[in-house]
Amino acid sequence: MVGVGRAGGLAVVTGAASGMGAATGRRYAEAGWDVIAIDLAPVPADAGPADDAHLLERIHPIAADVRDRPTIEAALAELVPTLGGRIDAVANVAGIYPPTTLDTFTAEQFDAIFGVNVLGVLNVSAACVAHMQPGSSIVNVASVDAFTVSPGQLLYGASKAAVVMVTKSLALELAPRGIRVNGVAPGWVNTPGNAATGRMAAAAASIPIGRVGEPAEIAEWIWLLTGSGHAGFVDGETIVISGGDVIR
What amino acid positions are annotated as catalytic residues?
Answer: 156
128: Cβ–Cβ under 8 A, 6 or more apart, which residues? 12, 76, 87, 90, 138
Query: What Cα–Cα distance (Å) separates residue 5 from each residue in 127, 147, 171, 182, 230?
Result: 22, 31, 20, 16, 8
Q: Which residues pair with 90 in a beta bridge?
A: 12, 138
Beta bridge partners of 181: 138
d(CA 201, CA 77): 44
Inter-axis angle of helices 120-129 and 69-79, nearest 10: 30
Q: Which amino acid is at 159?
A: S
